[in-house]
């Protein structure tokens, strides 16, 4: 398989390494920064360091655009203009509404891997970055099912767990599980430095501070765009947090130990439920679904299951010879197969257990 990676930072570089090592792909790469491109080549992440974006994507079957969120619309457009009709183009941006709305093309599928590190740049890229990581995909009603399936399968080979989601649901989710934690980490670092910085030297801090501020000051070249692109969703979460802090303050001022205890216990339960939400493992069931061969069908299926928390562990599309219809084979956890079947029934597609 021939793939292209445009933008060779931590994520792009890791995609390139994983695609080469795990999917046996021939990887062509391009980066606006010649040093990053050369570093990717010398690390073996890209076999071909292209002289331009157009050269990188020529002949590719899958193109990953891994540039900052603000640069996505123009770069994705350029990739679509330069690649072939049978190529799927995806991105890895942390905000999805803008790029999906700006890109009306059946070959485009928005994407976002929930993976990262305290470090940025090609130097820290690694082939196992996506192992077990949720990789959100935002297919729409015009997305080609064949191209979606190809991307889905490749992401599985990279070690990730692809999950379909609507762009607006994605952005609201990321506002609370990623962008808000980043804002709080920044505020905490600033507050601590402000409160403690008066002395001759800062005092020692403990592990809770280190963890709480791990993502403080994430690279501005990436994060300024992210904050601004998702600012409506983020502002809603900031307002909610301020209201919650006011409740805590009132309970502290009143010395209300019962309230504090109940609040603290609830947080323990909330965190446990959130972190357990990785989905069931174990035995897989295959469901074979007959679908008409029109754009949007695969997106409809994947989004419906994703919304209900049913992970599609694997997905294969078998078009009929005349391309008029097809069979989608879906693998889901045994514990979720009855629910998956019910959801597919509700969509009106015939389903048969293999």
CB of 351 to a copy of itself, least distance (A): 19
Q: Which residue number, 35 or 247, has a Cβ lying nearer to a copy of itself?
A: 247
Q: Which residue number, 6 or 315, has a Cβ lying nearer to a copy of itself?
A: 315
B/e letters for 234-263, b = 16+ CB within 10 Å, e = fewer, are: beebbeeeeeeeeeeeebeeeeeeeeeeee
Q: Which residue number, 81 or 270, has a Cβ lying nearer to a copy of itself?
A: 270
Q: Which residue number, 146 or 218, has a Cβ lying nearer to a copy of itself?
A: 218
What is the SS3 assignment for 28? strand
CB of 307 to a copy of itself, least distance (A): 7
Q: Which residue number, 179 or 285, has a Cβ lying nearer to a copy of itself?
A: 179
Q: Which residues contact 297 (CB under 8 A, 6 or more apart)?
A: 145, 291
CB–CB of 65/7 below 8 Å?
A: yes
How many residues in total does the chain contain? 354
CB–CB of 43/17 below 8 Å?
A: yes
Here the tokens at position 240 are 């909610």
Q: Which residues contact 20 (CB under 8 A, 6 or more apart)?
A: 26, 27, 44, 45, 47, 127
CB of 171 to a copy of itself, least distance (A): 12
CB of 258 to a copy of itself, least distance (A): 9
Q: Which residue number, 58 or 169, has a Cβ lying nearer to a copy of itself?
A: 169
Start-to-end CA distance of the chain, whole Å, equals 29
CB of 103 to a copy of itself, least distance (A): 22
CB of 235 to a copy of itself, least distance (A): 6
B/e letters for 84-103, b = 16+ CB within 10 Å, e = fewer, are: eeebbbbbbbbbbbbbbeeb
């Amino acid at each position: 398989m021939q793939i292209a990676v445009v933008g060779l930072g931590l994520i792009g570089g890791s995609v390139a390494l994983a695609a080469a090592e795990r999917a046996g792909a021939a990887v062509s790469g391009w980066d606006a920064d010649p040093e990053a491109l050369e570093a990717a080549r010398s690390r073996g992440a890209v076999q071909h360091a292209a002289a331009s974006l157009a050269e990188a994507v020529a002949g590719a079957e899958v193109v990953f655009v891994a540039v900052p969120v603000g640069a996505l619309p123009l770069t994705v457009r350029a990739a679509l203009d330069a690649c072939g009709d049978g190529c799927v183009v995806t991105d890895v941006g942390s905000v999805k509404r803008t790029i999906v709305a700006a890109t009306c093309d059946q070959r485009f599928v928005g994407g976002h891997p929930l993976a990262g590190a305290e470090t940025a740049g090609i130097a820290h890229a690694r082939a196992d970055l996506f192992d077990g990581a949720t990789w959100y995909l935002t297919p729409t009603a015009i997305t080609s099912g064949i191209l979606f399936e190809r991307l889905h399968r490749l992401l599985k080979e990279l070690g990730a767990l692809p999950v379909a989601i609507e762009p607006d649901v994605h952005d609201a989710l990321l506002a609370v599980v990623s962008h808000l934690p980043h804002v709080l980490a920044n505020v905490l670092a600033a507050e601590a430095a402000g409160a403690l910085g008066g002395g001759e030297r800062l005092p020692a801090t403990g592990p809770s501070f280190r963890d709480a501020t791990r993502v403080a000051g994430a690279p501005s070249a990436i994060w300024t765009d992210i904050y601004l692109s998702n600012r409506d969703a983020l502002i809603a979460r900031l307002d909610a947090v301020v209201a919650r802090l006011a409740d805590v303050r009132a309970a502290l001022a009143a010395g209300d130990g019962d309230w504090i205890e109940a609040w603290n216990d609830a947080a323990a339960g909330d965190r446990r439920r959130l972190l357990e939400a990785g989905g069931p493992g174990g035995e897989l069931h295959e469901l074979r679904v007959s679908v008409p061969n029109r754009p949007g069908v695969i997106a409809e299926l994947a989004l419906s299951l994703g919304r209900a928390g049913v992970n599609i562990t694997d997905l294969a599309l078998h078009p009929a010879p005349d391309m008029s219809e097809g069979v989608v084979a879906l693998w889901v956890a045994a514990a979720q197969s009855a629910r998956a079947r019910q959801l597919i029934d509700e969509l009106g597609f015939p389903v048969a257990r293999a």
